Amino acid sequence: MLIDYIHKAMHKATYELLEDGTFYAEIPECSGVWANSTTLENCREELQNTLEGWIILGLRLGHTLPILDDIDININININQEVA
């Protein structure tokens, strides 16, 4: 499921050739996930690395990550404690 999520996110990426000749990419649904590099392929690789780190950190910190095309990787923890 995690690999499917990464693939869906990468398919939503937008790329732009900047005036300085470098490539910029971002995934609009994943706030703060972007990359910039001298080649399109390097930009794509950097974007995926950034996405993977963003996912790991988000899950570790308990952030709610966006659901992409019905793929939900959020960890739902229900803690039911009875008060004695």
Q: Which tens digit of pLDDT belongs to each residue from 23-79? A: 999 999 999 999 999 999 999 999 999 999 999 999 999 999 999 999 999 987 555
Q: C-alpha angle 44/66/60, rounded to 5°?
A: 85
When pLDDT is cut at 50, 70 and 90, the band that residue 2 belongs to is very high
What pLDDT does 75 receive? 84
User: What is the pLDDT at residue 10?
Assistant: 98
- pLDDT > 90? residue 12: yes
30, 58, 81 from 33: Cα distances, Å: 6, 12, 37
